[in-house]
Amino acid sequence: MPELTVELLNSEAKTFADIESSHDEPALFGVDNGKAVGTYFEHKFQAYLHGKYEYGEGSSAKGIDFPGLGVDMKVTSIKQPQSSCPYKSARQKIYGLGYALLVFVYEKTDNSQNSTGRLKILHVIFVEKQRTADFQMTTGLVSILKNDGNKDDLTAFMNDKMLPVEEIEASSIADELLEKPPQIGYLTISNALQWRLQYSRVIEKAGAVPGVLRIK
Same domain, yes or no: 65 and 172: no
Same domain, yes or no: 122 and 103: yes
Through-space distance between the first and last CA atoms of the chain, rounded to whole angstroms: 26
Q: Residues 105-153: pLDDT tens digits? A: 999 999 999 999 999 999 999 999 999 999 999 999 999 999 999 999 9
Same domain, yes or no: 139 and 41: no
Q: Print the domain residue range for 154.
A: 135-179
Same domain, yes or no: 139 and 196: no
CATH number at residue 108: 3.40.210
**Is 185 within the bounds of a domain?**
no
The answer for 115, left when phi > 0, alpha when psi is -120 to 50, beta otherwise, is left
Task: For the beta carbon of residue 213, count every other beta carbon within 10 angstroms.
Answer: 18
Same domain, yes or no: 128 and 146: no
Dihedrals phi, psi of 81, to nearest 5 degrees: -75, 90
* Alpha helical stretches, state H, the chain: 6-21, 34-50, 92-95, 135-146, 151-160, 167-179, 200-205
pTM over 0.85: yes
Same domain, yes or no: 106 and 30: yes
Q: What is the mean pLDDT of residues 69-75?
A: 96
Q: Residues 16-49: pLDDT tens digits? A: 999 999 999 999 999 999 999 999 999 999 999 9
Q: What is the pLDDT of residue 174?
A: 98
Same domain, yes or no: 61 and 42: yes
**Is 60 within the bounds of a domain?**
yes
Q: Which residues contact 155 (CB under 8 A, 6 or more apart)?
A: 170, 171, 174
Same domain, yes or no: 16 and 70: yes
Same domain, yes or no: 75 and 44: yes
Same domain, yes or no: 163 and 196: no
Q: What is the pLDDT of residue 194?
A: 85
CB 28 within 8 A of CB 77: no
**Is 186 within the bounds of a domain?**
no
**Is 25 within the bounds of a domain?**
yes
**Is 163 within the bounds of a domain?**
yes
Same domain, yes or no: 169 and 197: no
Domain count, the chain: 2
CB 141 within 8 A of CB 163: no
Q: Measure the CA–CA gap between 59 and 43, rounded to whole angstroms.
A: 10
Q: What is the pLDDT of residue 61?
A: 61
Strand order in the sheet with 195-198: 82-85, 195-198, 188-190
